[in-house]
Chain A
Amino acid sequence: MNLIVRITIIFVLVSLVVFLIGGIISFNVMLREVNFEQRRFLIERLDGVEERLKRRPVKDSVTWTKLRIVALEDSTEESTQFSDTLVMHNQLERMEPHLRVDAIRNVDGKSYFISLYDIIIEPDDIKDGLVESLVTMYLILLGAVLIIGFLASYFILRPFNNTLTVIKSFSLTKPDQQLEFPKSTVAEFKRLNHFLTEMTNKVKSDYQSLKEFSENASHEIQTPIAIVQSKLEVLMDGDNLTEEQLEQISFTQATIKRLSHLSNALSLLTKIENREFANVSEINLSEAIENMLEEFKELIDLKSISKTVAIEKGVTIQADRVLVEMLLTNLINNAIRHNVEGGMIDIFLKDSELKISNSGPALSIPVDELFLRFKKSNQSAKSLGLGLAIVKKICDFYDYEIRYENVEDRHTIQIKF
């Protein structure tokens, strides 16, 4: 939800509560004032009646409109009592609430009972008036708030939105990129821009040193490996070694090679993560797979694996050639390596969907760990356990959907390009 919309909604809700409470208070205050005025009005009339009685005393009892005077036999103490009553209203022709005062007054030594009533202003009328005026005011306020909100988001928040646009274009892989935030006179935005500039610079330099480190680590390892490798070769070429010694050296060489591959694969993963493969071109996937199969033909034949290939011609994708070849090599290599003698491989490509299935022993690791680094079904020393991690990384990099399915001893990897 938009910031300004949120603020507006909160404001509208709060002012609604304020208006409700304010309405109740005004209603009570007005009711009190009206009652007070009405009573004073009746008391004034009562005084008027008293004046009249002084000039013209009443014998028995008199009834006028809204007034009744009864002369009392005994002298009684003066009293005043207010009450509400319902009286038929002439013009409206319905019963209307009236305020009534019953009083006993002593005029010239004689006691009179005086009863007066008059129409009062009803609470309902006050309420109606109040509601009408408050609703109107509330609507005006609402309109004003909306206009202010719109103007605020446009003018006041503009530097903020500009900053957002700039930060969106931030990319770690463009080392020369310098973010230019628009100038703002608002202290908060100034602080934000300052902070963002510092943070992006820090992230960049950290990223750069991390990248350099992983790259350096990778080839710093290769150099000693190269020395060991060459020494072992020279050693093997000597004349006085027994078969057993030679086997030991061969084994050491193979292990050294694994170490080198491991370091290369890790540095490759880092490079993909760092988005260093940006040579995007159109790649004919059909041809790439055919070529790859040609390269692996001997390996497939060696294991007497039967392959079924159904590749639609002319399927192309936009990607970095190195990565696509890496992806295919790893997938096909996996399908062969984890296959059984005399097994099968099924390769199917249609409408940018690639399916590679192969026979092979059941997985010994959970399926959801299949694409993790160093997870291998066969813990033997032969494979690095990085092949599928690289495949997954490449798929993530290009937003390809990758799925693994296992039906009995058939393993299928499916990629949607």
Chain B
Amino acid sequence: MKLLLVEDQAELAQSVRNYFSKEGDVCEVAESFSKATDKLYAFSYDVLLLDLMLPDGDGLSLLKVVKENWPDMGVVIISAKNALNDKLHGLELGADDYLPKPFHLAELNARANAVFRRRKQDGKRSLSFNEIELNLDNHEVIVNGQTLELTRKEYELLHYFVVNQNRLLTKQAIAEHLWGDYMDTMDSFDFVYQHIKNLRKKIVQAGGKDYLKTVYGAGYKMKDEA
């Protein structure tokens, strides 16, 4: 996946780029409107991560330019303005998703991935991690040829892990991914634990390996240690 991040905050841009690069995605950074258009004309990207507030122009006008010239490019708006108007306006102009700041890097990765896969026309739309295979169209999970019976939340959880494989997912990031912003109580962490326990059990029962590692004090990581 090749991404272009348009973000004027260098520190944030660096974190995002490091995060994506770690698992083999290419993430380039443009810190202004003009640099972004230069890059867009020079190279091709799968997904554009767009901050709405840029020093030399409005992100929404850049979005218009992108949608006119590269209609197939996926766009995720990242904005500090959690303004409903901007969100609606952005989605109307053809953005695929809207993620308010501050966000978890894992969440950004999951959103970018979802946009990327949704826009990919060729081949079947699926994700896999060793013997675990997720069909993104009908939300079916197959382990060793056996279909898993997962609840919606369990599927979302597994999907989140597979997209962010080999990366740490904090309990907070998982809770927010599954239940949105209103789940800010510590209760939800027990809850995350419950869901992960069930998911593990189901995968192991189907003959899969337990890839969901607990990172004590922090969260979980999907990793093949062998």
Contacts and interface: CB of A to CB of B under 8 A. Distances in A.
Interface of A: 215, 218-220, 222-223, 225-231, 233-234, 236-237, 241-247, 249-250, 253-254, 256-258, 260-261, 264, 267, 295, 298-299, 302-303, 322, 329, 333, 337, 382-383
Contact of B170 (A226, A253, A295, A329): A253
A371 B155 CA distance: 39
Contacts of A383: 185
A322 B88 CA distance: 12
Nearest to A225: B102
15 contacts: A219-B79, A219-B81, A222-B100, A227-B15, A230-B105, A233-B19, A233-B106, A234-B105, A237-B167, A249-B218, A250-B171, A299-B183, A303-B187, A322-B84, A382-B184
Interface centre among A225, A242, A244, A260 (most CB of B within 10 A): A260
A234 B172 contact: no
Contact of A254 (B104, B167, B172): B172
A233 B170 contact: yes
Contacts of A322: 84
Nearest to B12: A227
Interface in B12-57: 12, 15-16, 18-19, 22, 53
Nearest to B85: A276
Given A225-B101, A243-B217, A233 B15 contact: yes
B218 A256 contact: no
A222 B168 CA distance: 23
A382 B217 contact: no
B186 interface: yes
Contacts of A215: 81, 83
A181 B161 CA distance: 64
A302 to B, nearest CB: 5
A142 B106 CA distance: 85
B179 to A, nearest CB: 8
Contacts of A222: 80, 82, 100-102
Interface residues of B, number: 46
B15 A264 contact: no
Contacts of A246: 215-218
Contact of A223 (B9, B183, B194): B9
A200 B15 CA distance: 47
A298 B52 CA distance: 35
A247 B83 contact: no
Given A237-B19, A302-B190, 13 more contacts: A219-B80, A220-B80, A227-B15, A233-B15, A233-B104, A233-B173, A234-B15, A236-B170, A244-B217, A253-B172, A256-B102, A298-B191, A329-B182
A275 B30 CA distance: 37
B68 interface: no
Nearest to B11: A227
Given A231-B11, A236-B170, A246-B218, A333 B102 contact: no
Contacts of A299: 179, 183, 187-188, 191
B184 A226 contact: no
B171 A226 contact: no
Given A223-B80, A233-B105, A250 B172 contact: yes
A219 B184 contact: no
A258 B191 contact: no
B168 to A, nearest CB: 5
Q: Nearest 6 pairs between A and B by C-beta?
A: A246-B217, A230-B15, A219-B80, A226-B102, A243-B217, A226-B101
A234 B14 CA distance: 10
B12 A226 contact: yes
Contacts of A219: 53, 79-82, 101
B181 interface: yes
Contacts of B217: 242-247, 250
Contact of B18 (A227, A234, A244): A234
Contacts of B216: 243, 246
B19 to A, nearest CB: 7
Interface centre among B19, B81, B182 (most CB of A within 10 A): B182
A108 B183 CA distance: 134
B170 A227 contact: no
Interface centre among A227, A247, A329, A383 (most CB of B within 10 A): A227
